[in-house]
Structure 1
């Protein structure tokens, strides 16, 4: 009974979601990146309720690399904005006596807590709803611990490009699924929360080139040549001691300066989880989403005809 009621609710949401109040396509925003895009430490139990969530179409896939059956997903169906469950993370083997066995490479689980969590999509959508009160859809594709060279490289047909391909494939599948319900989208923006994994001696010097390559490829592959991109990273990653985070920030700022369709979003004031400050807290994650929403509105206002 509960499943049938949920399916009927989603059907009604989709049935009334085809156009905005102005009669055009519904805005679609992509949210992507690594663990702070996933919301690894943004616990679902700490998310305040908001009635506007039910009006936002939502499609997600998040986990850890590589993209696989262990990810948390919306099962390639549209639903409404909500925290995401942990999915089916690989359990580490234990030795006799219960000691942890060998650590599996880059298998972190989707969220730290069994209750699941949420990313900046929540604060983003809620802030836009407060400012605009317009229909919105979000596709979220994010994977913890992922870097440009190792996971998001559109020029790598192997594992190094697996997360990029997942972003493109999930976005196309989401658009097609909506179209089959009579819903058309306008790709409004990419929200990119990533860079911590590139804050190292090998990858930081290449970050600007790598992220520029990803943006160019995504605009091409999604046939959205003017797609705006909002760029941000946890500036406190490494407890303010990582010497390469400033290089990543510099690269994101440089892209935003060179590309009028991009904006750098400063996340420094957002609350991070002590003692390591690796991830934003639930309150910090909501704050980050709100900052991206305000940056998007400012970017669009600056581009509007005078």
Structure 2
């Protein structure tokens, strides 16, 4: 009897690990969440963030699908929390009731844009941010169709030297992702830093200018405003309501791009 129960438990666990939406591949819309900690999410998780939505799935650390809830990321498990990804996905699913959203968490807290290049290793999380993102997106695309990348990064480049080259590196990053993922017009949305960060880090304004200029230089890209958003008390990370609002703004940007 114990053997039978053990086998049943093993089968159940295996089914849970390999679960994915029962929906045609073309209707499973995938989005990569990339950048650093404000994309990964550092907001306090509240009850509303734990409520799962049958139309929003997430690719786990082990490249399996499960219903999404915050925290989505695993870059720094001890501090991950609410980011923009979950609210973005819910807003996108609400706009089109015929689709299911699949999120691919790839953001890495603290990572500068320089480690978002092939072969670059990021010691604090012992990861290869760019290579890992490409590998996870490729694995996810077996189940659905990749529809875009959400990018929020720049705090680690907000100094007098790194900020000057940020615009060129961001444009190169978009083109590199598109080439590696074989999606030459893949939509790419870049989020800006909020006023509270700009007040303390003047060179962040140069980063924001680069993000704002991105759509002028690269087709099918968008900049997403962080105006009016609040911090959680550490002068760096969005609080939970602001992270959710940022996610909705990303969704609005993608919807606007579709209408063009």
Q: TM-score, normalization: structure 1? A: 0.73
1:10–1:163 Cα change, 3 Å: closer
Q: 2:212 aligns with which of 243, 253, 262?
A: 253
**What is the root-mean-square deviation in Å for CA atoms of aligned residues?**
2.6
Please list, as runs of the form range in 1=range in 2, the aligned pairs for 1:75-94 lying within 5 A after superposition. Answer: 75-84=62-71
Cα distance in structure 2, aligned partners of 1:247 and 1:25: 38
State whether residues 50 and 69 of structure 2, in contact with CA within 8 Å, keep that contact through their aligned partners in structure 1.
no
Among 15, 24, 28, the residue aligned to 1:26: 28
| Mapping for residues 115-130 of structure 1, pairs under 5 Å | 116-130=80-94
Does structure 1 conserve the Cα–Cα contact (< 8 Å) formed by 2:120 and 2:129? no
Distance 1:292 1:231 in 2: 9
Alpha-carbon shift at residue 215 of structure 1 (Å): 0.7
Structure whose residues are more often helix by fraction: 2
Measured against aligned partners, the alpha-carbon deviations of 1:257-302 in whole angstroms (never above 9, x if no partner) come to: 222301110012223212x420011111111111000111001111
Instruction: Give, in whole Å, the separation in 2 of the partners of 1:296 and 1:145.
Output: 26
The answer to which of 78-87 and 198-207 deviates more is 78-87
Aligned residues: 248
Distance 1:46 1:272 in 2: 20
Give matches, 1:66-105, under 5 Å. 73=61, 75-84=62-71
Structure 2: 5+ residue stretches without partners = 1-7
Contact kept, 8 Å, 1:239 with 1:277, in 2: the verdict is no
Pick one of 35, 38, 41 that aligns with 1:36.
38
2:183 matches 1:221: no
Distance in structure 2 (CA, Å) of the matches to 1:148 and 1:140: 17
Q: Decide whether aligned partners of structure 1 residues 77 and 211 sit closer, same or farther in structure 2, where only a CA change above 3 A counts.
A: same
Residue 167 (structure 1) aligned with residue 133 (structure 2): yes
Partner of 1:285: 243
How far apart are 1:3 and its partner, in Å?
8.0
* 2:256 is the alignment partner of 1:298: yes
Aligned to 2:77: 110
Q: CA deviation at 1:204?
A: 0.3
C-alpha distance in 2 between matches for 1:7 and 1:55: 22
Q: CA 1:251–1:5 in structure 2 vs 1: closer, same or farther (change >3 Å)?
A: same
Note the alpha carbon deviations across 1:88-129, whole angstroms, 9 max, x for none: x9xxxxxxxxxxxxxxxxxxx3343xxx52321111011112
User: Secondary structure of 2:104's partner?
Assistant: strand
Q: CA offset at residue 239 of structure 1? A: 6.2
The alignment's TM-score, normalised by the length of structure 2, stands at 0.85
Q: Deviations over 1:180-215 (max 9, x none)?
A: xxx3x2221110011111111111000001111111
Question: Equivalents in 1 of 2:47, 2:221: separation in Å?
Answer: 31
Unaligned runs of 5+ in 1: 61-72, 90-108
